[in-house]
Amino acid sequence: MTVIFLGSINATQMFSTPPISLKQVSFILRSCPELMSFRLEVILFDDGFEQNPQHISLPCLQSFSLYDSGIDVSFLFSILELPSLKYLEFNSNAQHLERSALEMLLPRITTLERLTTEPQFFSQGYYLKCLNHMTSLTHISIKRPPHVRAPIGEDLNGYYKIVSDSLLEWFTTPYPAGDYPVPNLETFECYAASEFTDNAVVDFIRKKHALPGIRALKKISISFSRAPTVDIVQAIGKDISSQLDPYLTYPFAMESSYDRVGFHPFAGICPSSTAR
């Protein structure tokens, strides 16, 4: 067995596969030592682990994708040994947890080339200790999973605008020894509404193309939560823009107007009591 793909989550048919337990997941992984690709998109439930379980070693696994559906998978991640992992995708519906399960996995990974995960991993600072050793990482994609929704009546605009300029500044700020975090980053994508300012994006792109010791940016995609204030492509200049594939959109620019009504489009149909 080299590839396992369980379940499917999409906008029209969520959780079409029956729920499985963490014990079952660990059994599947432990039974496939030559596994190369694993993707899990089903509802999980936590049935506990046996005491002092053995580590799960998957020396051939290169691609690992998991949706945790709201439970804590930290312990599962803590017993995984993935020495060849190149692609990791992790989405969570567990907004109540005080820590990210990725803290139990990423610090032990040195081969990762591509990371796709939720905005909270960056907004809450987990990246500071999970990615600072990632010299092979070339692609970061920040996505808000379509199946994760904020509760009706909460500050929805604030819920989604959670990634700020400090992340961009981190990539171009050297450590005391002179090296940079994630020095080979070539592709940066943020498809969740962010708080990046246009000036910070311009500065990030310029530094990625000018600083010694880090790789130049090849592609940047950002979905902003506001209207543009600076023409970013013009500001970075023709020399850089000719080497860069920029995709900058502003689809969330009008989200603040949603606060004036009693519901949010992402929350579904407006209750009759609040209909206008």
Which one of 82, 111, 140 terminates a domain?
A: 111
Question: Are 75 and 49 a contacting pair, CB within 8 Å?
Answer: yes
Burial 206-234 (b: 16+ CB within 10 A, else e): bbbbebeebeebeebbbbbbbeeeeebee
- Clarify whether residues 87 and 158 are in a common domain: no
Question: Which of 111, 143, 159 corresponds to the end of one domain?
Answer: 111
pLDDT bucket at 219, cuts 50 / 70 / 90: very high
Q: Is 90 exceeded by the pLDDT of residue 18? A: no
Instruction: Specify burial of residue 178 (Cβ count, 10 A radius: 0-12, 13-18, 19+).
Output: exposed
User: Domain range spanning residue 131?
Assistant: 113-276
Cβ–Cβ under 8 Å, residues 117 and 91: yes
Task: Write out pLDDT tens, residues 96-129.
Answer: 667 888 999 999 999 999 999 988 889 888 999 9
In this predicted structure, the answer to whether residue 16 has a pLDDT above a threshold of 90 is no
Tokens of 132: 């600072």
Q: Residue 105: what are its φ and ψ, rounded to 5°?
A: -120, -50
Confidence class for position 15, pLDDT limits 50, 70, 90: very low
CATH number at residue 145: 3.80.10
pLDDT at 263: 40
Residue 174: the pLDDT is 95
Looking at the structure, do residues 137 and 60 belong to the same domain, yes or no? no
- Give residue 133's pLDDT band: very low, low, confident or very high (50, 70, 90): very high
Is 100 in the same domain as 124?
no
Asked which of 68, 95, 111 is the last residue of a domain, the reply is: 111
Query: What percent of the chain lies above the pLDDT cut of 70?
Result: 74
Handedness of CA 125, 162, 223, 105 (dihedral sign): positive
What is the tens place of the pLDDT at every residue in 248-268?
988 766 554 444 443 444 444
